[in-house]
Structure 1
Amino acid sequence: MASSRERILDSFERILIDEGERAATVEAVATAADVSKGGLLYHFPSKEAMVEALGDRLQGLVGEDLARMTQDPEGAARYYVRTSVYEDSPLDRALVAMARLAQQGHARAQERFSALEDAWLGALEEELGNRAIARAVKLMGDGLYYDAAFFAGDSARKQTPQDMEELLLLVDAIAPHWK
């Protein structure tokens, strides 16, 4: 079973995703995590502490993803596009939760989110050797992720393996020119 701290952070993440920042009060998170308000405050003395911990969680997950991305035998660009689908993974949940905070103008969340986005772009630029092409690949992947995360119930928008292969062929078409 997850520790109280992890249950609290999971609950905070879930409320941010499902209901937004306003609903993610200390009381609501404590109730969702099945801990007392005092128990929550023991681990996280403020809502800002939960935001910081969520940022740390996301940073760790992105670090793991970047390691896989830069070591992928097909290359970072193909990896980024191929994995830009929402699968309700720990990375997906942390990313969407932090994005919800950033969308609401939360300054620290915006800083953290921006730094992580820059890290992915940097890995693509390192491989491709050209910032504009790296941005194009990143935006392709981000568009896929947006579709998958926000239109999950729309089967007409669902990517087929053939759709993905066609996009990867586009990545292949632009990537060799910039290596």
Structure 2
Amino acid sequence: MRRDELLNAAEALLAEQGAPCLTLAAVAERAGVSKGGLLYHFNTKEALIKGLIERLVRDFDELVAAQDEPSYTRAYLAATFAAVRSGSLRRWAVATGAAGDPELLAPLREAMARWHREGLADEPDPMAARIVRLACEGLWEVATHDPGFYDEGQYEELYQRLCGLLPG
């Protein structure tokens, strides 16, 4: 069993039953492996949660890198809207909800700091870039808690308006 399959099982369990139901035994059962098989990859519940958060950060970094945009902020914006539209934000909600220990969120805090500093010196208008990045965070929050709040047309209008704040 691969790490990603175990992480998928943990995410599904979190999404369906919430953080109190996240146990190593429940994840192993959900993944169809022995508890020993799970322990080979994640020896504690905290290691499992840290693995979930690290994967979320890595996946978003890859999504940003995959955007064909002229600036980091435009790539960050496009990646955010791609994540919102695909529904992958639920992964963020369940993983961060499971991390009751602030230490477990350290990789996410480090990534957020990096995402909000990346490329600012290269932006024609660094303040506009900051505003757009903060708007992305607000969108993540709203879409995480109420995925149906905006329809596709509203997402497109929001995207275009945010793009309009950026020079070029």
TM bin (shorter chain): 0.7 to 0.9
Match status 1:143 vs 2:138:
yes
What residue identity is the alignment partner of 2:21?
Answer: A
Query: What's the Cα RMSD here?
Result: 2.9
Q: Is 1:97 matched with 2:88?
A: no
Q: Distance in 2 between matches of 1:4 and 1:76?
A: 30
* Identity level (%): 28
In 1, are the aligned partners of 2:24 and 2:35 still within 8 Å (CA)? yes
Which deviations, in whole Å up to 9, do the C-alpha atoms of 1:63-92 show, x marking residues without a partner? 2123124x4258336425533515234xx3
- 1:175 equivalent to 2:166? Answer yes
Q: Is the 8 A contact 1:13 1:93 kept in 2?
A: no
Residue 120 of structure 1: which of 100, 115, 124 is its match? 115
Cα 1:159–1:146 change in 2 (3 A) is: farther
Residue 72 of structure 1 corresponds to 69
Inter-partner Cα distance in structure 2 for 1:63 and 1:43:
23
TM-score normalized with structure 2 length: 0.77
- TM-aligned CA deviation for residue 129 of structure 1: 5.2
Tell me how many residue pairs correspond in the alignment. 166
Matched, 1:61 2:59: yes
CA distance in 2, matches of 1:111, 1:64: 19
Equivalent in 2, 5, 8 of residue 7 of structure 1: 5
Unpaired runs of at least 5, structure 2: none
* Alignment-mate amino acid for residue 75 of structure 2: A
Indicate if the aligned counterparts of 1:44 and 1:50 stay in contact, CA closer than 8 A. yes
In structure 1, the residue corresponding to 2:20 is in which secondary structure?
A: coil
TM-score by length of 1: 0.73
Q: Measure, in 2, the Cα distance between the counterparts of 1:63 and 1:111.
A: 16
What is the Cα deviation at residue 62 of structure 1? 2.2
Q: Distance in 2 between matches of 1:98 and 1:9?
A: 10
| Aligned pair partner of 2:150 in 154, 158, 163 | 158
User: Do the aligned partners of 2:10 and 2:27 also contact (CA within 8 Å) in 1?
Assistant: yes
CA contact (8 A) 1:8 1:30 kept: yes
